[in-house]
Structure 1
Amino acid sequence: MIHPTLRPCFYLPLALLGTATSQAAPIQLPTQTVLGASDDTHELTLPLARSTLFLDQQPATSLGANLSESLQRVPGLLALNRQNYAQDVQISSRGFGARAQFGVRGVRLLQDGIPLTMPDGQGQPGLFDLDNLYRIEVLRGPLSSLYGNASGGIIQGFSSEGSYFPTLENRSAVGSDGLWRSRFKYGAQHGDLNVAANLSRLETDGYRDHSDTRRDMANLRLGWDIDDASSLTLLFNALDQPDTQDPLGLTAAALDADRQQAVAQAELFDTRKSIRHQQLGANYQRRLANDDEITVMVYGGERDVQQFLAFTGNSLYSGGGVIELDRRFGGSELGWQRDTELFNLPVTLAAGLSWDYQGEGRKGFVNQFGRKGNLQRDEFNRVESREAYLISTWQLAPRWSLTAGARYSKVKFDSDDSYFTDGQDDSGSVRYDQTSPALGLSYQWTPEISLYGAIGKGFETPTFQELAYRPSGSGLNFDLQPSKADNAEVGFKLRRAQTQVDVALFYTRVDDEIVTGEPQLNTDRSTYANAGKSTRQGIELSIQQQLSNSLSGYLAYTWLDARFDRYQSSTGDDLAGNRLPGVPRHSLYAELAWQPTDGFSTALEMQSLSQRYANDTNSADAPGYAAFNWRASYRQQLGHWQLEPFARIDNLTDREYIGSLIVNGAGTRYYEPAPERNWLLGVAVQYRWQ
C-alpha cells in the first residue's frame, strides 16, 4: 500500500502517461543544464571541475555491476570495491564521505534527474542502472553545492534510449571466487514509444569467508516526444538482495593470520543484510512559446532492509542487534529556465522548487545468534526537505562568463517513539536551515584553453543512521549538528583534437566536521559526533592523450592534504593536526590502451594509493600500494549478430593490499582486504532485427 504522503508522486506520472505519444528526449533538469550536465559545447567555460565518462564508448571488459569500475579513473574521487555487497561501494570526493561505513555520504547521487540520495543525505550507489547508462558525470567544487545537501560533489548518470531497431542482448561473465553475472537487455522504438529494459542477476561466494551474495535488478525506461515542444520519460528500478552475508572488517592480527577469513562475530551472529527496493520516477519537459522551458520531476518508492549485526543488542538502551527498516520515500521538483538578456548581456536563468520526503519505520530486535528475538526498539522517523534555488549564467564579454546562484534548504527530522518498555518516550524533532551561495568566473583565453575560479558554501546534515544512536541512553542523537564548508577553487582546461587536460586547485574549510564517535555502551555500534574544524586542500590533474591512431593514454592524479585543525576526541585527546582517516595523500590512476583494429582492444591499467589512516588518532593505517590490471575484448559483426568476448585480470602482480578501510571501526576491525590476482571471462551476444 502506498504511503498517503506519497500518493501524488505516483498519480501524477500516471496522469502524464495518458498524454504521451512519441520518443523521449534526453532528460535535463534546469539546474543540471545550467551547470553543464549535457552534451554541449559550453563545457570548456564552466567554472567547476567536471569529469564525463561515456560508458557506451568503453569496451565491455568489466563486470558491469559496481560503480567503482568506472569511477576509479576520476581525479579527486575515491571509489573502492569493498568486496562486501552488504555494505556497497565506498565513495568519497575530496575527502568527503570517507567516514561512511556503508552507503555514500557527502556526495549526492542522481540518475536521469531522480535522486538516489535520500533527503537525509544517505546515498545508495548500488541503485544505478549501470547496464543502461551511456554517460556518468562527476561534478566537484563550490558550484556543486547548488544541488543541495552534499559538500563533496555530485555523481549523476544519464540513461540511453533503446535502439531504433529491436535489439536483444545478453552479457554474461564468470570469475574468481564463484562470481557469476548475467544480464538481458532489450531496446526498441515501437511507434511513438521508446523502450529500454534490462534484467540481471549476480551471484558470488566472495573473496572472504561469509560473503555469499545474490543480487537481482530490473530496470525499465519508457520515453515519448509528446509533440515538438514537450517530452516525457518514465523510469522504474527494482533491486532484490536477500541474505547478503557480511564478513565484517578485520583487525590487524586477524589480517596477518588469514586475510580471507570472516571474524568470529560474523559467524556467531550470522551477520547479513537483506534489501528490497522499488522506485518509480517521471520527468516531463515543455518548451513554451517564449522559449521558456518548464520541467516537472516526480518520484516515489519503497525500501525494506533487515540487518543482523555482530552483537545481541539486548541491553536496556542498545536498540537491538537486528534492525528492520520499512521506508517509503518520494519527492518532486518544478524547474524553469530561460535564455534572455539582462542589462544588454546574454544570460541563462534557472529557478526551481523541490520537495523530498522519507518516512521510515525502525524496529530493533535481539540477535539470538542469527535469529530474531525480542523487540528492543520501535519508532517511526521522518525527514522532509524543502528547497528553492536560483542560478544564472552571464556572458559578460566574448571571453568572460559568470555563474552565480544560491540554494535555500530546510531539512526537518521527526521521530515518534512507540517503545515504552524502557520507561522513556524518545520522540523528538530537529530542523536545519541553510543557504548555499556559489559564484564562478570563467575566462576563455583561447578557443582551446580556459581559466576559472569559484567560491561557495556547502553543508551536510547528519543522516538518520548517524542520528539513530547515542553513546549512552536511548533515542536519537539530536545534539549532532550539520557540517558547513567554505569552498574555493581555481582551474585550467585544455581541449584539443588529440589532447584533453584538466587541472583544479582547491581549498575547503569545514566547521563541525561529522566524525565517528565512541561506540554505544555495551555494543559495537558506532555513534557520531561533531569535531571542531578541518581543512582540505589539494590538486587534481587529468590528462587524456591520443598517442597515435591506435594508441591512447590517460592519467588522473590527486594530491590531497586533509587534516583536523581543531578536534578534541570523546576521550579528551587533542587530535588537532591529525590526518582525516580513510583519505590518501596521493592517488593515481593510469591507463595505456591499444586498439589496432575496429574490433580488438586491450589495455593496461594501474591504480595506486598512498598510506591511509584507519582512525582519527592516526594510530593504525593501511600502507600504500600500486595494483596493475589487464583487459582485452574483441567485437565482431556477423550479419544481425554481434559477438564480443572479453577477459580481464586484476592485480597482475598478485600483491596483498588493503582495498578499503572501515574508518574508526568498532573493535579495531578496520581492514577490508582486496583479492590477490583474480580473473574475469565473459561474452556479450547481441541480435538486432532490421
Structure 2
Amino acid sequence: MRHIRPLAGGVLFALCATAAAQDARLAPVVVTATRSAQSPYDIPAAIDVATTPPDGSLDVNLSERVQAIPGIVARDRQNYAQDAQVSIRGFGARSTFGIRGVRLYTDGIPASMPDGQGQVSHFNLDSAERVEVLRGPFSALYGNASGGVVQLFTADGTDPAELRFGVAGGSNGNFRSSVNARGVDGPVDYNVDFTHFRTSGYREHSAARRESGNAKIGWKIDEDAKLTLVVNTLDVPDAQDPLGLTRRQYQADPRQVAAAAKTFDTRKSVDQQQAGVVYDQRIDDANSLRVMGYYGRRGVRQYLSIPVATQVSQPGSSGGVVDLDNEYGGGDARWTWRDTLAGMPLEVAAGVAYDNQEQHRQGYENFQGDTLGVRGAKRRDEIDRVFDFDQYAQADWRVADDWTLMGGVRHSEVRFRSTDRYVAAGNPDDSGTVTYSATTPVFGVLWRATPWMHVYANWGRGFETPTFSELGYRTDRGPGLAFGLKPSHSRNAEIGLKLRPSEAMEAGLAVFRADSDDELAVATNLGGRTTYQNIARSRRQGIEASFKDELARNLRFVASYTHLQASFRTPFLTCVAPGCSAPDTPVDAGTRIPGVPRSVGYAALNYGATSGWQAGLDVSAMGATSVNDLGTESAPGYALFGLSGSYVFDQGPWRVNTFARVDNLADRHVIGSVIVNDGNGRYYEPAPGRSFLVGVDVRWR
C-alpha cells in the first residue's frame, strides 16, 4: 500500500502537466450537497456518485456499489444478522452494530434515526439509479452527523416501459433473484421491484434470507407540481450470527464460529415497512417548495451469546434476548429561491425538519432452565423516545464567472426520553430525559482556474450525539440515562482539485482534516451493560484521490485511493478484561482509533461496448486496521483480485446479459471486517476465499 500514494500523486501531476484546456464533459447530476440538481464538478465539496453495479456482482450490498469512491469504507461482513459497517473518513468506525456518525437517506427519506443510528439493510439496489456519497464539512447541513452523507435514489419510470428479471448464484449458497417493472403511463411514472436473496454463508452458522421490496410512483399533477410516493419493505427471518473470532481461532480455521454461537443459536430477525410522500411545487420562475413526510415500523428480535452465569449473577443485566419495536416518522419542508444578486446567479434554500422515533425495548434471558437459545424471563422493559427539530438554510452564489461561494447553517435540537417499566432489586429506575443542541455553520469556495481544473476549499463544524444505545447506562451504575455524556463536536477543513481534462477523463484530489472534541469510546462492560465515555480530543486527517479514463476504444479504467490517519490526541483509561467495572488501563495519546484502516485502494479495468463480449479485472486493497482502543491488536492489510466476463445480447426489445465472476483469485485468507473493542477478544470476521458467481439479467422493452 505504501507505493500507491506516489502513484496517485504521479497520475494527478501528469494530468495537470499534459491536459489541454478543453470544455469539461457533462458530469452526473447530484443533489445531496446543494439540495438542487447540480454537477459535482461545480460544487466546492467532495461528492461522488455510483450509478451502475460492478460487472458480475450480486448487487445486494452497499459495499458492492461504492468501492470506487474514495473516503468511504463499506465492509461486507459476511454476517446478515448484523448491519453493514459504513464509515466515512473514519467517522462511524467505532460502531459494533448499526451505522453511526454517517447520515443515510433513500429518495430523500431518512434511514438514520434522530439519535444518529441507522441502517442500510432496506436499500433496494436493484431499482436504484445512483448512490451519492458526500464527505466533509457540508454533511453538517444534514444534522446529527459528522463524517458524511450516503443517499440512494430510486430510478424514475422509463418510456418505453421495461420489465427486468435477474437471477444469479454461486459459492457459499449465494442466490439472488429479482423482478422489476418501470414505465410511464400518462402523468404517472413507476418503478416497482422485488428482490430475494439467500446464502448458506462462508462460515458455519451464517445462513440468511432477505426479501426486499421497493416501489416509487410519481404523479405529475400539472406542469408545476409533482407528487411522489415511495414504499419499501424488508424481511430478514432468523439470520444466523456466527460472531467474531479471536486471532488464534481465525488462524486455525477461518470458517469456524465461536462455540457460543451454536450454544445459544445466535440469530436476528428484522421486519420493516416504510412509506414516504414527496410533494414538489414550482411557484413561479424564482420560487419553489418541497414537502416530504414519512412513517415506518421496524421490529428486531436478536438472540445474543451472553452467558447464563452473567445474567443470573448480575441483577442489572438486560438478558440475552433483545426485542425492539420501533415506530418512526417525520417530515421536511423546504423553500428555494433562485434569482440574481449583483447580476450573478444566486440560489437560497431554507427549511425545517422534524424526526421522531419511539422504541419499545424489551430484554429477556436467553434460556429456560437447561434449554439455551430461547426466550426466557423478562429482564428489561422501557419506552425510549427521541426526536429532533432542526432549522437550516444554505446559499449558492456565483459571484463571478470563475468563482462560486457556498455556505449554510443548521440548528439542531435532539431530545431523548426514557421511561423504565422494569424496576427490581439491583435494577434501579433508569428513566430520564436529556437534550442536546448545536448550531453548525459551513462555508466553501470554488475557483474555476481553467475549464478543465476547478480548485475548492471548505470549512465547517459538525456534531454527533450519543445514540440511545450509548446513553442507556451510566458508568457509575446509578439510575437514569448517562447524563454525563456529551455530544462530539468537530472542526472540519478540506481543500481539493477537480479535473476534467477531456470528455473521457476525470480525476480528483482532496486533502482533509477533522479535529473532534469529546469523541465517544467504551468505558466499561459488565453484566451485558456497556457504558461509554467522552475522550477529550481526536483527529482524522488524510488524502483522497480518484481517477477514471477511457484508455482506448471500449477500454475503461477507474481507480481510487484513501490514506487516513485517525488517532486519539489525549490519553484516557479504558477497560480490557471481560467484566471490567471501571476503566483501569491507560491509552496513550497518539493511539490509532480502532476500526479505521490506514489506507484503502481500488482499481478496475473494463473492456466492452454496450453489447457483445465484456471483461473486467479489478483489485481492492485495505491497509492494517486496529481493533481495540489500546492498539495492541490489528487486522493485517490485504489486496484481493477479481475477474469478470459477460456477453450482452441486445436485439429489438430484448437485452440479455449473461455473466460470470471470480472473486479473490489467489484464494487468500483475509479478515474482511472487524468488531471494534469486542469484550471477548473476538475482533475478526473473515472474508471468503476464492468464490464464483454466474447469472443472467434480462430486460424487455
Whether the TM-score (by the shorter chain) exceeds 0.5 is yes
**Count of residue pairs the alignment pairs up:** 653
CA distance in 1, matches of 2:196, 2:424: 43
Establish whether residue 276 from structure 1 lines up as the match of residue 271 from structure 2. yes
Establish whether residue 372 from structure 1 lines up as the match of residue 375 from structure 2. yes
Pick from 531, 536, 543: which aligns with 1:527?
Answer: 531
CA distance in 2, matches of 1:373, 1:539: 51
Deviation string, structure 1 residues 396-418 (Cα, Å, up to 9, x no partner): 21111111110000000000111
Note the 1:477-496 alignment, pairs <5 A. 477-495=482-500, 496=502
CA distance in 2, matches of 1:605, 1:38: 34
Structure 1 gap segments, 5+ residues each: 1-28
Pick from 428, 440, 443: which aligns with 2:444?
Answer: 440
Question: Deviation at 1:596?
Answer: 5.4
Partner in structure 2 of residue 308 of structure 1: 303
Partner in structure 2 of residue 409 of structure 1: 412
Pick from 226, 230, 233: which aligns with 1:231?
Answer: 226
The 3-state SS of whatever aligns with 1:240 is strand
Partner in structure 2 of residue 17 of structure 1: none
Pick from 84, 90, 93: which aligns with 1:89?
Answer: 84
The 3-state SS of whatever aligns with 1:261 is coil
Partner in structure 2 of residue 421 of structure 1: 424
CA distance in 1, matches of 2:275, 2:609: 43
Deviation string, structure 1 residues 498-557 (Cα, Å, up to 9, x no partner): 2101100001100011123321x233x543221121111111000111101121111101
Deviation string, structure 1 residues 154-212 (Cα, Å, up to 9, x no partner): 11111111222332221111111111111111112223221211111111111111111
CA contact (8 A) 1:75 1:556 kept: yes
The 3-state SS of whatever aligns with 1:513 is strand
Establish whether residue 541 from structure 1 lines up as the match of residue 545 from structure 2. yes
Of residues 232-241 and 579-588 in structure 1, the stretch that sits farther from structure 2 once superposed is 579-588
Partner in structure 2 of residue 47 of structure 1: 44
The 3-state SS of whatever aligns with 2:377 is strand
The amino acid across from 1:477 in the alignment is A
Partner in structure 1 of residue 645 of structure 2: 632
Question: Deviation at 1:392?
Answer: 0.8
Note the 1:28-47 alignment, pairs <5 A. 33=31, 35-36=33-34, 40-41=38-39, 43-47=40-44
The amino acid across from 1:275 in the alignment is V
- Taking a change above 3 Å as real, the CA distance of residues 59 and 100 of structure 1, as seen in their structure-2 partners, is closer
Percentage of matched positions with identical amino acids = 43
Question: Deviation at 1:473?
Answer: 5.4
Note the 1:88-167 alignment, pairs <5 A. 88-167=83-162
Partner in structure 2 of residue 507 of structure 1: 513
The 3-state SS of whatever aligns with 2:250 is helix
CA contact (8 A) 1:64 1:131 kept: yes
CA contact (8 A) 1:363 1:375 kept: yes
CA contact (8 A) 1:533 1:567 kept: no
Question: Deviation at 1:584?
Answer: 1.5
Partner in structure 2 of residue 394 of structure 1: 397
CA distance in 1, matches of 2:200, 2:466: 34
Establish whether residue 592 from structure 1 lines up as the match of residue 605 from structure 2. yes
Partner in structure 2 of residue 564 of structure 1: 568
Partner in structure 2 of residue 25 of structure 1: none
Pick from 607, 614, 631: which aligns with 2:627?
Answer: 614
The 3-state SS of whatever aligns with 1:540 is strand
Pick from 189, 195, 198: which aligns with 1:200?
Answer: 195
Deviation string, structure 1 residues 342-363 (Cα, Å, up to 9, x no partner): 4554311000000000000000
Pick from 675, 678, 682: which aligns with 2:688?
Answer: 675
What is the alpha-carbon root mean square deviation over aligned residues?
1.7
CA distance in 1, matches of 2:395, 2:596: 34
Establish whether residue 459 from structure 1 lines up as the match of residue 463 from structure 2. yes
TM-score normalised to the size of structure 1?
0.92
Question: Deviation at 1:479?
Answer: 2.3
Partner in structure 2 of residue 336 of structure 1: 335
Pick from 149, 168, 172: which aligns with 1:177?
Answer: 172
CA distance in 2, matches of 1:299, 1:225: 20
- Taking a change above 3 Å as real, the CA distance of residues 227 and 407 of structure 1, as seen in their structure-2 partners, is same
Establish whether residue 665 from structure 1 lines up as the match of residue 664 from structure 2. no
Establish whether residue 449 from structure 1 lines up as the match of residue 449 from structure 2. no
